Structure 1
């Protein structure tokens, strides 16, 4: 995978940011001027990663761990540190503070920790920090994420073509922006080919709970859903789909071995090039805090189609993907109504990358996520 480290909106969707320049944010999100971070010799460098889940989850945290391994390969003399399964509590603050006392030069939080993280960044201005799925920039703090809504839309097209009932199911972690963007994009893709499609969401209030995800998959299948999707770090609902003879798509990695007949695709993330680039910049003394959304095809994409996906379905969905990559299609254009019937995106308007990143309402046809 080639490195494309800040979203090139002009190339991807004609939204007008120069490649490599970082995401153009409103003033309230831009933060202070970057601090000065001097160059560091590779042998003296300490790079730390704080993870929300276990590195063997084969999902979100595993993907970030693969990025760390790429850093280790690229900079074998540097020291890397990591802690897994950090809770959203004061324990997070203590963990990231410990990284600081271990003289880390660059610290990655591979999930959003909010004030638990910022308490450390504000007290250690001489250290560079990055937060995945973050929300603000400071002189020593940047954030990064993925434009997952595009491959999700593509998978939604396949779901709409393959679903017989038009009843789709989704296993969500929490009612957070990532889940709103994911569920909405999925259903929009499905409705582009099956306008009557609907999406039922079950929220399990965890990022990693195989038992709860499995139970949610059972409930959705029992309710008549014949295509399951979700944002979980394990394969619980894929296994249910395999047992029930229905279809499923996943998040983070290729999990087809857990349900080869049910598996359609996954939203897959690849951070190796991004992490190597960030560490290289920090060692060279050129690192700056930026907001970065990795674009379709360069950090996030759909997985190879599953063995039971008809060739015609794959071709139709991939034609949509190619139109996105060429800059000829943006599906997130009005009119878009929420699930109460209110127009949220008028005709003639298109949602920006920040609108999509901060999406906090459900579209028509989505039930069960939040209020």
Structure 2
């Protein structure tokens, strides 16, 4: 059983006598208590680690106006509801729940604490006091794909995936679209491990892909095990969520990095000003929440320059990774030339693009 730890960072000595009312600023002199719920350990060097960096940005930005607490390694089941409920009961006026599987528990708890502002990451269910936020992570995944398509020698890419939810499939599809945009011969193989963070499974999955001829690895999981394996095998890899270059200085070409702090500071500022409201927020490279890790010296200059041009086009709104022509795995045309995938389909994506080998679980 994973160890759970509750760590409180108190930034003011005064205790919270009353919860702040939803939509109003906290009483003068009373810090806003904010809770964060993580699916993995903050030491994962991935998803939860990046969320915790965002929490620390909130502390730095607002100082004594806030008090933050977090709970790590919370399973996406009954334990999640108990943890979320406890944070609300303990005086949190704002709670961020940071994984898809926390969606229903968040909504249930929110109904019992209408004065608390809840923010859920990666979900789609909102309520009067529940907002949701996601990232356009697929923008970075597409750019990584363009690199993979240029550096692969076997034309076979590998993807280690956690759960078959739209967020993960969307990133996989974008990665393959990017790769095939520069190298139509590329195919991609996938191994699903049914876990966000499991270094042993992640490494085993990557090894299985290598055994099938994969020479360039990407992941939607949280540990650096895949980058470390690629380093030991003389292959290439891309980190996910945070900069994992120190775990594979030669293997790690760049990575898809999330800066959650820009969003957390934005929403906490709203709350402190009495202007918070539930929203469905989807930020990407333009807003600075999706970033790329520094390019490796192994990356050819012309490849790096092309990636920078495409990144600039994405930021400027001049290019969208899901722009046709796009076919699915069965050969059906999903997007005609010049057509962009509608938002409603983008966020509910459950189909593979052409070039992915194997079936979904």
TM above 0.5: yes
245, 251, 257: which is aligned to 1:268?
Answer: 257
- Within 5 Å, give how 1:272-287 maps onto structure 2: 272-287=261-276
- Within 5 Å, give how 1:49-198 maps onto structure 2: 49-77=36-64, 78-112=66-100, 113-198=102-187
Name 1:321's counterpart in structure 2: 311
Q: Name the CA distance, whole Å, in 2 between partners of 1:160 and 1:284.
A: 47
- Equivalent pairs counted in the alignment come to 337
Residue 357 of structure 2 corresponds to residue 370 of structure 1 = no
Q: Name the CA distance, whole Å, in 2 between partners of 1:361 and 1:344.
A: 10
Name 1:252's counterpart in structure 2: 241
Residue 35 of structure 2 corresponds to residue 48 of structure 1 = yes
Q: Give the superposition deviation at 1:114.
A: 2.3
What SS class does the counterpart of residue 200 from structure 1 fall into?
strand
355, 362, 369: which is aligned to 2:345?
Answer: 355
Q: Give the superposition deviation at 1:131.
A: 0.1
Q: Name the CA distance, whole Å, in 2 between partners of 1:363 and 1:90.
A: 35
Q: Give the conservation status (yes or no) of the 8 Å contact 1:171–1:202.
A: yes
Q: Give the conservation status (yes or no) of the 8 Å contact 1:270–1:299.
A: yes
Residue 25 of structure 2 corresponds to residue 39 of structure 1 = yes
1 or 2 for the larger relative contact order (CA 8 Å, sep ≥6)?
1
Residue 216 of structure 2 corresponds to residue 230 of structure 1 = no
Q: Name the CA distance, whole Å, in 2 between partners of 1:296 and 1:340.
A: 31
Name 1:20's counterpart in structure 2: none
Q: Give the superposition deviation at 1:307.
A: 2.1
Give per-residue Cα distances to partners, 1:8-52, cap 9 Å, x unaligned.
xxxxxxxxxxxxxxxxxxxxxxxxxxx952210463311110111
The alignment yields a C-alpha RMSD, in angstroms, of: 1.5
Gaps of 5+ in 1: 1-34
What SS class does the counterpart of residue 301 from structure 1 fall into?
strand
What SS class does the counterpart of residue 56 from structure 1 fall into?
helix
Give per-residue Cα distances to partners, 1:58-81, cap 9 Å, x unaligned.
110011101111111222222211
Q: Give the conservation status (yes or no) of the 8 Å contact 1:203–1:369.
A: no
Q: Name the CA distance, whole Å, in 2 between partners of 1:267 and 1:254.
A: 8
Q: Name the CA distance, whole Å, in 1 between partners of 2:29 and 2:150.
A: 51
Q: Give the conservation status (yes or no) of the 8 Å contact 2:106–2:118.
A: no
Gaps of 5+ in 2: 1-20
Q: Name the CA distance, whole Å, in 2 between partners of 1:88 and 1:137.
A: 18
| Runs of 4+ off more than 6 Å | none
In structure 2, relative to structure 1, the CA distance for the partners of 1:121 and 1:193 (3 Å cut) is same
Which 10-residue stretch deviates more, 40-49 or 287-296? 40-49
Q: Give the conservation status (yes or no) of the 8 Å contact 1:335–1:347.
A: yes
Name 1:295's counterpart in structure 2: 284
Q: Give the superposition deviation at 1:196.
A: 1.1
Taking structure 2 as the reference length, the TM-score comes to 0.90
Q: Name the CA distance, whole Å, in 1 between partners of 2:105 and 2:237.
A: 35
Give per-residue Cα distances to partners, 1:245-299, cap 9 Å, x unaligned.
1111111111111111111111000011211121111111110111111121410
Q: Give the conservation status (yes or no) of the 8 Å contact 2:141–2:256.
A: yes
What SS class does the counterpart of residue 358 from structure 1 fall into?
coil
Which 10-residue stretch deviates more, 351-360 or 143-152? 351-360
Q: Give the conservation status (yes or no) of the 8 Å contact 2:239–2:256.
A: yes
Which 10-residue stretch deviates more, 107-116 or 71-80? 71-80
